[in-house]
Every structure is written in structure tokens, then in C-alpha cells.
Amino acid sequence: MVIELSLLQSIAIITTDASIKNNIATSILHMHTSNQSLIKMLHHMAFVTSAEAELFAIRCGINQASTKENISKIIVVTNSIHIAKKIFDPLFHLLQIHAVAILKELYHFLSRNPNNLIKFWESSSHLN
């Protein structure tokens, strides 16, 4: 399904992952669009939670995809869907600064064209 969708020029597929080892968080983002090479972004952060690192990766992916003119659909694939849901929870204050930044990116992307959309897909972190 991802391979078929990645052939459509208007779709950006973003996969994210984050982990922490020795108080250093690693945030990885891969983005694929049909007419470009795979983009990989790797960030290291100190003294942050895995949720913060995951939201940072999601934010970077949305930022990268939403700045491309021909993209009208963004699909974020993450194994931390419970964290992604926090973006839209106004009562969750712990990660609110990250959520506000992501919502600002989404506002600009979605208001640019009424047909633009974003989807979040859950993936397993333990693929066989």
C-alpha cells in the first residue's frame, strides 16, 4: 500500500522513530515523495523524553512536506501513535509547546487548499 501511494506525486510519506540511550535521544525521520530521493533526517538531543523526540520528528516531517508546493496529502507513519494523538488533545499540557508548533504547521498546510489532508498511520516497532 505504501509503495502504491508513494508513486502518486501529491503524497508525502513520513516515517518517524525515536529512542533514548544514556540520556541522549535520537530522532529519525524518513520522507518519501514520488519525484525525489528519500530524505533522511537524524537529530540527537540531550535530556528530553522519548515523547518529545518523537513529536520533534513528526514536526520536522510535517514542516518538510508542507513546504513542497505539489504535496496535498501527508501520511505520517509512526510506532508512537499514542504520542501523535497528544497533538490534538487540548487538555494535555506536558508537551503543549511541541503540539502548538505542529498545529501551526498543519494550519498553514491545511488552509492553503481545502483538499489538503494529513493522516497518521500506526506501525509496529517490531516488524518481522
- The reported pLDDT for the residue numbered 126 is 46
- The reported pLDDT for the residue numbered 54 is 86
- The reported pLDDT for the residue numbered 6 is 58
pLDDT along the chain (128 residues), means of 10: 64 87 88 79 86 86 86 89 78 74 90 92 64
* Strand ranges of the sheet holding 11-21, from the earlier edge strand across to the other edge: 39-46, 24-33, 11-21, 73-78, 117-122
What is the identity of the amino acid at 68?
K
Domains and CATH numbers, the chain: 2-122 (3.30.420.10)
11: Cβ contacts below 8 Å, ≥ 6 apart: 5, 33, 34, 71, 72, 73, 74, 75
C-alpha 55/C-alpha 31 separation (Å) is 15
Judged by DSSP in three states, 112 sits in helix
